[in-house]
Structure 1
Amino acid sequence: MSESGLNISRRGFVAGAGAAALTAGLAGCASGTAEKEGTDLASTSPEKMAYDPNEGEWIPTTCNMCFNNCSIKAHVVDGVVVELTGNSDSSIGRGHICGKGAAGIMMLYDPNRITKPMKRTNPKKGFDEDPGWEEISWDEAYELVDTNVKAAIERSGPHAVTGMSMVASQIGSLVRHTALGVIYGNAEGSCSDICGAGVHQLEYLLTGTGNARPDYLNCNYVVQFGTNAGTATRHGFNMTAEIFADRRREGLRHVVFDPHMGAAGEKADLWVPIRPGTDAAAALAIANVLVEEGLIDVEFLKTRTNSPSLVDVATGRILFDEATGKSLYMDADGTPKTYDVCADPQLEGAFEVNGKQCKTGFTLYKEHVAKYTPEYQEEITTVPAATIRRIAKELGEAACIGQTTTVDGVELPYRPAAVDGFSGITRHKHAFHACWAVFTLNNLIGSTNAVGGFCGFDPICNGWADGNPNMAWKPGIWEPEGLIDCAGLLLAFPNSYYKKVYESDYTPTTMGMLEIQPISEDNHFEHVAQAHPDLYHTQAAEVAFCYACNPIKWWGNYDEQAEIFKNYTYVVGIDMFLNESSYFYDVILPECCYLERTEPLPHASGNHRVIGGLHNPWTVPVWQKVVEPRDGAPSSWELFGELANRAGKNAEFISTLNMMFRVKEEYSVPLDQKLDVEAFADSVLKSNIDEEHDFAWLKEHGVYDHPRTVDEVYIWANGEPGRVPMYFDFMLEAKGKVEAKAAELDIPWETDDYQALPDWKPGCGHEITDPDYDILPVYHTDAINTDSWLMENPYVNEINEENPYGYTIEMNAATAATKGLATGDKVRLSTQEGVSVEGVLATSEGVHTECVSVIGGHWGSKSKYMPHALDKGVPVVHLVPGQTPERMDHICSAFDQCIRVKIEKIA
């Protein structure tokens, strides 16, 4: 295969989707009806169609142009997809399709797609090296994978192989991990920086599930930190946008803290530009005002948090009753009692208990946030003190503290105010503290798990069908403090951070070192350990198995990543396109397009990307192929199933999948045969719904719904027990154990962030050490680009090109003027270490004065096989050292992307 690639415009591409182009050489596609002259097939407007809407079939399936996986319908005429629309029958997307989704037709028929396996013939690897791709048979491809993986494992054991996957295909990632585990005993894996490190953990702790959101339908005041949720991005975006917009028209007030005025800030009542990495200081200042002004929900803090816990002032540890092992509160009668029998716990106060000087957890919290005055935070964040006071007062008043409402006949607390955040506050060191400071504001006003407040997507499920609780879960209780546990993010099996902290072995078993990070979920530390195996006494992987991702560009400086990949003895790639990482692959196995494949249960068990709420039922959508795969390319399920079959591991592979997806024994597919994906999907539905709603039924109807009940949405609706933490005693327990294990292993490990109350701490790049390097580059996403697979798509590319800020470096106009810069200037951003990127400047009022901002910080493709994406955009993440342990948050594995740069005009 040559390195030329085809380069066509969106309109030319669309024209090529008609019969003429299809019969002229788009392999694997039947001819279709010629389009009318000038008609754009990417349009989803019902009044302008290239084809009669009554012609052909409208086939329901699932979009995979980003990880939200909205329900869609494909209009198929004579075996050709001519249009994609949202599926109005499904709550997942609510009938909407975004620009990315509409552009999916271009991914399907992109002539630059790879559809046949290939192997490298040039042993030299690098961005400037032609791999010399040679087409091979599928038998040879599978044999190369199996031989090289087995050879590495025979040399060095199962940890010699690491798996990599992207969030855009989370179920595929689960299947990849499962297959490598059962076939090769592999346990290694890493993931990209695109995740909610810190966010998910706090949401687990506070809502019982790993994703949470404002109860948009009932909320009147939303404060967002570092997220465009509901306006341009994030989980269930197409589900949220309409509801959020309606509520805004009805008076919901919206405040956004963000260095860049993205879609959320643009539409908000108030955009608050904030210095990157300082969100915790602003949140703690809001807490200061809420506490000082008495705008707190005392009853909630007393009965639904551990705020009344008696804390030994000398040690900072909560007191526990020796007989029962439960935490002690001070009752109104002056007697310390366990939390579960204390009639009237005292929220504040200092006491002597068993000869120890004690204060309540809330008293210590109040004393702790006292220093975070609005004036104090202003020096840190640049946010005016008056702005903080205004927001805090509005938030506290909007919470309607003390009020109740009735939902489905159940009287519940009504707290129509919520504070939300996402990845903007996690791209930093001390990310856990930032998320902690932000989300516990909901505790102060009593909105955690309340009507109108901050609620989990799916904290409880009673089953997907009446009388069938097979797919069911609810948070358990950590008895020593009465705190709620949680259910896992994707498969919703029981999970407990407290159990991990108090009972687990902290000895790392993989490069991800998760055991010594008991409050982390992400294998981000593998990036550091792979580069420094001697420092951490880990085993560097020899083979990388890369599924549906671009790992050269998903973590810091690309040249550093390239060196890591050069050092692997063998790299396997599974993808649809030859991206930058493919320059380092030894063999590549193509996966078919999402419109050409069937996948069981695309939203897993926990409906990870479905925003929940009573108005959104439990929805099981179909993901079925709508056209035959070009050149017979397999889906990831089929590919991994084939590997398991060749290894004689069908029983192990299928049994593990049965456990993951809760398949009942009587519905299991045969264990002695290669996995049949459609039959497996059938077994999942019969097990978790009923025999009537099998896969044949779902293929025809597109979606299965089951109504949620009030207790599934508001976890304490039935008076269930459970609290959430305000004083994090378990962090001090973890600190001691982590320090002991690090000393035993003789490895460096930061433990200063293990404390019982949240703080703001300066991260990388906070201070200006050289006045020439005074700019902080940040990146943001918009609706067309968020969590997208790639910019190679002609439609997406054209939208970005027409956006004046699409592929540019956006800078505050006043700051630019002081530096003698203007819109249209070509500029260079460079670090003190000499790393640089270049781009064209575009000035605006929508950027913090100390920042420049770009869309999609990982852009700037180096792959000549992707001509539309080649050299487009500015990859500011390349400026960030990716293998420096000091940039890691050692609590939740977040990665600090703040770095000071110099900006200068170039000829």
Structure 2
Amino acid sequence: MKVWMTRRDFVKTSAMIGAGLTVLGPRTLEKVVRAESSSPDEYKAWAPNICTMCASGCGVVVQTKGQGSGKRALKIDGNPLDPFNQGRICPRGQSGLRLAYYPERITTPLIRVPGSKRGEWRFRAASWDEAYRYIQDKITANNIKRHEMGIAAGWVICAYYRPEVVSFAMSIGMPNIYGTPMQPCVTGSHFGSDTLTGNFNIHDEVQADYENAKYFIAFGNNSSFAGISTGRGLRFARGMRDNGTKVVIVDPRMSEAAAHADEWVPIRPGTDLALALAMANVIVTNRYYDAPYLAKYSNMPFLVDASGPFPQLMMDVDPKTQMPTRFYVFDETRQTVVPVPGMFGRNQVDVNGVEVIPALTVPAGTTAQGKKVLTVFQVLQERLKAYTPEWAADITALPAAQIRHIAEEFGQTRPALVEPGWHDGRYPNSVMLRRTLALLQLLVGGYDVPGGWVFSGSYHEDMANMMKYLAGGGDLAKYPPMAIPGITSPMGVMNMFSDPSFWPEGFPQITTAWSEQEVKAGRDPVAFPLFTNVGWDAAIDGRLQWKGQPYRLRAIWMYQANPVRNAMSAAKWQEMLSNPNLPLVVAIDIAPNDSNIYADVILPDQVYLEKEDELFDLGHSHQVGVRMRVPALEPPKDTRPALDILAQMAAMLHGDWAGTLAMVRGWDANQVRHAVQKALNTGKSVTLAIQQYQIRSKAKEWGVNPQALEAELRKNGLVVHEQASEVLAKWAMPEKLPVPTISGRLEAYSLVLAGFVRQYGYKPEWDPLVTFVEPNWKPGEGLHPRLQGNEFFFAYGKTPLQSHCATLNNDLLVSLSELRRDQITGIWLHSKAAQRLGIKNGDKILLTNQVSGQRTTGIAYVTEMVRPDTVYMMSDFGAQNSKVYGHGVGTALSAIVPARPEMVVGAPQSGAFTITVERA
């Protein structure tokens, strides 16, 4: 008999892990650092910080020597008190010193030299006043309107400063934001699972419990445990070592993760959805699913009218808000249809407060509102019948027996875990794939339980705070929009950015105008184009209109963004940033890259080792608390922190940035405005003023002394207020709190996707349940495209030694990559294919995209560790700017991937094509 850890055991274990990490507790970072130093002489000084070498945000300790401008940082280690990475840190984190000491670092404002062209690194040093005046003069001279501006923000914004950038845009009346990680990552991958779980940013909101899983499967994902996240990698290794977890990796190439797996499944690229649907078929057909869990916590028991072209959920809707007020279930106790509460309803009682036991299936002939109905579960059962292992075998090129045994092992093992996933966006079916993987996790009852998808502590706290507000009679429409947890917040933000009446000049975001124009032309829209860049090229070229008026994009800000390298395609972005119709390009950055070389003005940000930053929650941890950065180094005198730059530019453009920030975050507007304005008037740090406001507010909330709270934060870098044991005991979701879907349940039937059906008509890409969507490698050739002798499917991933293309200015990481140059920077080609083509290891080869015609070159890495019908490359290289240390190393992904957004969220179809290979 199999025995697994109970929630009670998990709570006890979590309490032990977090022991000592409490408000004003006895354990200090100084004691730990001294104790772990090999000798007293080794210890110099330390400052706690938060790593910004990738989006994981591990807690770090920066060891320094000296004082003032003579202070030098010696080493970066993991913060042993941080509950996420627990003192561990990866090579990228250890190399963070190079950000501060990079020889080509930007340390003063730069203005393009007259007569030079964008794309040439020809700038002169300028003062801040001169740089700001240059920007203002360009806006005035070219009569650039507010709606004609846009900001492209990199992953630093996504991980840390989303409310601040949204507030900047809103305060100056600029409806256009492009978050460069959004398309391939936060939406392109996560959105599918979000529509089931109610999350939005899985990086922060779901911490898969690798340590306690008995069975683990990952689809095409090397990032969480081998490529990106130290904390996740630590837990993954512990699960394998201590728990005997069986690990299955589904990937066309043998990744670092696959090399450690019990079973490598070399699937045909782009067909993962077929495998996932076949697994769901086996689990449902054989009744391996957790029926009580589905009935109690999902909307599987909800009734649908299945008579139409797609199943319609039975519900009553408020005509004003268009939000559901009632759903309907079949109560097993009363053997009748009963209404249950609508939005955020717990659905354990009917609308009259009487306990309900919802049935997963209803008797034949059951009716509601005069219509014959089925449950969502019954419709799903019927839908899955077609997706047998034999059906999937034909698509995936995997044996049906292998598919069946994986499904049976996953379905019968508890707890079983599907990797939540990071970067994706490769095919038109990627959103549906992630939705189906979330469904697999639902079928085994695996949310907020040991060995499953465990929500982060801050996510629990945010949901608890909102539910307390609503229980007190609060109006959700008046709740701070960026304090709302999960998918409800971006849906609300999307409504604002898409509403022309919200903006002073009457223009919505470009992406909304573009989608409406596409629909009118009989083409497919992007259904959820929040923070994407679809339509930006049309707005620059003059091909976009809104209500009969030209809609142009004439100024772009880039904050630590590199769209030429990470937003497909390179040629498209180079063309956009060079276009004379774009009079102004401003970059906020710390070092040269392939995009800020196109700027007119570059404003120098400070690196994380130098920042007095705002407070952040514990993010990726199961605990509730706050953490902060303590500067380890003096910043160069002519650099400024990003939040100060945003506040100063907003003031220059007459925007109420402080008031808007207070509104979206739920802060006291008068206090924040006063603090920010005082800082602006006196030349003090706006960022520090915000930090001090946060410390006072958090101390009041927790009932502690603000000076003592700040002292502990500066000493340890973080304060834990609620242990994981306390969080789950009070707020486990969906056991004790609803999840932030519209229904409050885990939505096997997505109301968000059903909304897209109502708005745009049915498309399989946004089916409210799950369905198969083709990879579309070669348009018109279906699931068995005819490949020429030198033609291959295409796959890519990342190396653990780089953060995609963001760290190529780091000489230490580039040097480490050079130690395995063939494997890391080469184009992977199976030995049989290489022999057929007469290609040897190290040969220069030419790659041609068979859909777009794009061409680039690379160096062949001949190997057995990739499918014979597939070529593979890392996404981390190919910089062209000679000011970047790693320029010329490897091949740029963006040189071969076209600008072809899929229709759900505008993610790049970065694998939906084939590649030919020949000797160059």
TM-score of the pair, normalised by structure 1:
0.81
Deviation at 1:230, TM superposition (A): 4.2
State the partner residue of 1:640.
646
Contact 2:64–2:75 (CA under 8 A) maintained in structure 1: yes
State the partner residue of 1:784.
801
Deviation at 1:167, TM superposition (A): 0.7
State the partner residue of 1:302.
295
- What SS is found at the alignment partner of 2:61? strand
- What SS is found at the alignment partner of 1:848? coil
Between 338-347 and 834-843, report the one with greater CA deviation.
338-347
Deviation at 1:711, TM superposition (A): 4.1
Contact 1:763–1:896 (CA under 8 A) maintained in structure 2: no
- What SS is found at the alignment partner of 1:232? helix
**Distance change >3 Å, CA 197–CA 325, structure 1 → 2:** closer
- What SS is found at the alignment partner of 2:873? strand
Deviation at 1:459, TM superposition (A): 6.9
Q: Which amino acid in the other structure matches residue 510 of structure 2?
A: M
Once residues 712 and 262 of structure 1 are traced to their aligned partners in structure 2, the CA distance between those partners, rounded to angstroms, is 39
State the partner residue of 2:606.
592
Once residues 559 and 496 of structure 1 are traced to their aligned partners in structure 2, the CA distance between those partners, rounded to angstroms, is 35
**Residues 414-469 of structure 1: CA deviation (Å, up to 9, x unaligned):** xx112124245432213221111111111222223333222323475448xxxxx9
Once residues 631 and 778 of structure 1 are traced to their aligned partners in structure 2, the CA distance between those partners, rounded to angstroms, is 44
Q: Which amino acid in the other structure matches residue 385 of structure 1?
A: A
Choose which of 221, 237, 244 in structure 2 pairs with 1:227: 221
Contact 2:764–2:773 (CA under 8 A) maintained in structure 1: no
**Distance change >3 Å, CA 720–CA 656, structure 1 → 2:** closer
1:854 aligns with 2:886: no
1:218 aligns with 2:240: no
State the partner residue of 1:430.
429
Deviation at 1:492, TM superposition (A): 4.5
Choose which of 610, 628, 631 in structure 1 pairs with 2:634: 628
State the partner residue of 2:7.
none
Once residues 735 and 268 of structure 1 are traced to their aligned partners in structure 2, the CA distance between those partners, rounded to angstroms, is 40
- What SS is found at the alignment partner of 1:654? helix
Contact 1:678–1:695 (CA under 8 A) maintained in structure 2: no
Alignment of 1:462-501 (within 5 A): 462=461, 472-473=465-466, 491-493=483-485, 496=488
Once residues 489 and 422 of structure 1 are traced to their aligned partners in structure 2, the CA distance between those partners, rounded to angstroms, is 26
Deviation at 1:284, TM superposition (A): 0.3
Alignment of 1:124-203 (within 5 A): 125=117, 127=119, 130-151=120-141, 154-155=143-144, 157-170=145-158, 171-172=160-161, 174-182=163-171, 184-192=172-180, 193-203=183-193
**Distance change >3 Å, CA 551–CA 519, structure 1 → 2:** closer
Deviation at 1:561, TM superposition (A): 1.4
**Distance change >3 Å, CA 124–CA 276, structure 1 → 2:** farther
Contact 1:227–1:422 (CA under 8 A) maintained in structure 2: yes
Choose which of 229, 239, 244 in structure 2 pairs with 1:251: 244
Choose which of 884, 896, 901 in structure 1 pairs with 2:909: 896
**Distance change >3 Å, CA 133–CA 82, structure 1 → 2:** same
Choose which of 832, 839, 855 in structure 2 pairs with 1:836: 855
State the partner residue of 2:842.
824
1:534 aligns with 2:553: no
Once residues 162 and 561 of structure 1 are traced to their aligned partners in structure 2, the CA distance between those partners, rounded to angstroms, is 14
- What SS is found at the alignment partner of 2:823? coil
- What SS is found at the alignment partner of 1:672? helix
Choose which of 743, 761, 773 in structure 1 pairs with 2:773: 761
Once residues 541 and 400 of structure 2 are traced to their aligned partners in structure 1, the CA distance between those partners, rounded to angstroms, is 44
**Distance change >3 Å, CA 488–CA 269, structure 1 → 2:** farther
Q: Which amino acid in the other structure matches residue 393 of structure 1?
A: E
Once residues 99 and 498 of structure 1 are traced to their aligned partners in structure 2, the CA distance between those partners, rounded to angstroms, is 34
Alignment of 1:325-344 (within 5 A): 325-332=325-332, 334-339=335-340, 340-341=349-350, 342-344=356-358
Contact 2:224–2:421 (CA under 8 A) maintained in structure 1: no
Contact 1:311–1:318 (CA under 8 A) maintained in structure 2: yes
**Residues 462-518 of structure 1: CA deviation (Å, up to 9, x unaligned):** 48xxxxx9x94459999xxxxx99x99975557538986999997672113299766
Once residues 322 and 777 of structure 1 are traced to their aligned partners in structure 2, the CA distance between those partners, rounded to angstroms, is 45
- What SS is found at the alignment partner of 1:559? helix
- What SS is found at the alignment partner of 1:326? strand
Deviation at 1:377, TM superposition (A): 1.0
**Residues 843-873 of structure 1: CA deviation (Å, up to 9, x unaligned):** 223222222222225x21110112x211111
**Distance change >3 Å, CA 521–CA 300, structure 1 → 2:** farther
Deviation at 1:254, TM superposition (A): 1.4
State the partner residue of 2:895.
878
Alignment of 1:404-419 (within 5 A): 416-419=415-418
- What SS is found at the alignment partner of 2:659? helix
Q: Which amino acid in the other structure matches residue 551 of structure 1?
A: P
1:775 aligns with 2:792: yes
**Distance change >3 Å, CA 75–CA 99, structure 1 → 2:** same
State the partner residue of 2:344.
none
Contact 2:185–2:424 (CA under 8 A) maintained in structure 1: no
Contact 2:186–2:423 (CA under 8 A) maintained in structure 1: no
- What SS is found at the alignment partner of 2:138? helix
**Distance change >3 Å, CA 359–CA 179, structure 1 → 2:** closer
Q: Which amino acid in the other structure matches residue 838 of structure 2?
A: G
* Aligned-residue RMSD, C-alpha: 3.4
1:555 aligns with 2:567: yes
**Distance change >3 Å, CA 125–CA 671, structure 1 → 2:** closer
**Distance change >3 Å, CA 787–CA 168, structure 1 → 2:** farther
Once residues 282 and 770 of structure 1 are traced to their aligned partners in structure 2, the CA distance between those partners, rounded to angstroms, is 22
Contact 1:775–1:852 (CA under 8 A) maintained in structure 2: yes
Deviation at 1:143, TM superposition (A): 0.9
Contact 2:790–2:918 (CA under 8 A) maintained in structure 1: no
Once residues 712 and 523 of structure 1 are traced to their aligned partners in structure 2, the CA distance between those partners, rounded to angstroms, is 37
State the partner residue of 1:564.
576
**Distance change >3 Å, CA 246–CA 645, structure 1 → 2:** same
**Distance change >3 Å, CA 230–CA 161, structure 1 → 2:** closer
Once residues 671 and 796 of structure 1 are traced to their aligned partners in structure 2, the CA distance between those partners, rounded to angstroms, is 38
State the partner residue of 2:22.
none
Q: Which amino acid in the other structure matches residue 598 of structure 1?
A: E
Between 624-633 and 335-344, report the one with greater CA deviation.
335-344
- What SS is found at the alignment partner of 1:782? coil
Deviation at 1:326, TM superposition (A): 2.1
1:653 aligns with 2:657: yes
Contact 1:808–1:873 (CA under 8 A) maintained in structure 2: yes
Once residues 85 and 260 of structure 1 are traced to their aligned partners in structure 2, the CA distance between those partners, rounded to angstroms, is 32
Between 211-220 and 97-106, report the one with greater CA deviation.
211-220
Identity %: 22
- What SS is found at the alignment partner of 1:785? coil
- What SS is found at the alignment partner of 1:296? coil
State the partner residue of 1:94.
86
Contact 1:209–1:458 (CA under 8 A) maintained in structure 2: no
State the partner residue of 1:447.
446
Choose which of 27, 43, 60 in structure 2 pairs with 1:54: 43
Q: Which amino acid in the other structure matches residue 367 of structure 1?
A: E
Contact 2:566–2:805 (CA under 8 A) maintained in structure 1: no
- What SS is found at the alignment partner of 1:792? coil
- What SS is found at the alignment partner of 2:304? strand
- What SS is found at the alignment partner of 1:388? helix
Contact 1:225–1:424 (CA under 8 A) maintained in structure 2: no
Contact 1:529–1:536 (CA under 8 A) maintained in structure 2: no
**Distance change >3 Å, CA 727–CA 637, structure 1 → 2:** closer
Q: Which amino acid in the other structure matches residue 170 of structure 2?
A: G
State the partner residue of 1:545.
557
**Residues 524-544 of structure 1: CA deviation (Å, up to 9, x unaligned):** 424465467636747231011
- How many corresponding residue pairs? 800
1:357 aligns with 2:372: yes
